[in-house]
């Protein structure tokens, strides 16, 4: 039940996020690569935009984790959110997002709170 609640919070963050990532005119790639590393030992999920514009949830069972997605031309933006629980306070994960071969923004470091949980959303990438 706690996983479902945390996942709903993460999805809400993804859907309500308004921050627009600056578009580098030299990088028009429609391929995003999400990479997660760290030492978090609890259960966690990534909720992200699929290649056709839908949303999916994937349980991450081991680190490092990598997902590369090439988006169809009708998809106008993409996002990812991470939710975890059952870890140890202070454990960390780092999320990087690349568009083509270029880093989008800076890596996002997330630290589990005193309950061993976290929830974090990356800025939306607009195509």
Q: What does the H/E/C string look like for the chain?
A: CHHHHHHHHHHHHHHHCCCECCCCCCCCCCEEEEEEEECCCCEEEEEEECCCCCEEEEEECCCCEEEEEECCCCCCEECEEEEEECCCCCCEEEEEEEECCEECCCCEEEECCCCCCEEEECCEEEC
- The pLDDT, as a whole number, for residue 27 is 64
Residue 30 lies in a domain: no
Task: Please report whether residue 82 resides in a domain.
Answer: yes
pLDDT at 21: 43
In a domain, 26, yes or no: no
Question: Tens digit of pLDDT for each residue in 90-120?
Answer: 999 999 999 999 999 999 999 999 999 999 9
The CA distance from 31 to 35, in Å, is 13
In a domain, 31, yes or no: no
Instruction: Give the pLDDT of residue 28.
Output: 83
pLDDT beyond 70 at 8: no
Q: Could you list the residue range(s) of the whole structural domain that residue 104 is in?
A: 2-19+39-126
Q: Express each pLDDT in 12-60 by its tens digit.
A: 544 444 444 444 444 689 999 999 999 999 999 999 999 999 999 999 9
pLDDT band at 5 (very low <50, low <70, confident <90, very high): very low
What pTM did the predictor assign?
Answer: 0.80
The total number of structural domains in the chain stands at 1
pLDDT at residue 116 in the model: 98
- Asked if 72 and 118 count as a contact pair (C-beta separation under 8 A), the reply is no
Considering the domain boundaries, does residue 29 fall inside one? Answer: no
62-88: average pLDDT: 97
């Amino acid at each position: 039940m706690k996983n479902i609640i945390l996942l709903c919070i993460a999805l809400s963050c993804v859907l309500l996020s308004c921050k627009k990532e600056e578009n580098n005119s030299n990088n028009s790639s429609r391929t995003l690569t999400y990479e997660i590393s760290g030492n978090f030992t609890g259960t966690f999920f990534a909720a992200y935009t699929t290649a056709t514009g839908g949303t999916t949830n994937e349980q991450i069972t081991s680190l490092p984790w990598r997902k590369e997605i090439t988006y169809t031309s009708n998809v106008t933006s993409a996002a990812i959110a991470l939710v975890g629980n059952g870890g140890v306070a202070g454990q960390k994960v780092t999320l990087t997002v690349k568009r083509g071969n270029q880093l989008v923004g800076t890596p996002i470091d997330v630290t589990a709170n005193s309950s061993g949980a976290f929830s974090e959303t990356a800025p939306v990438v607009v195509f």
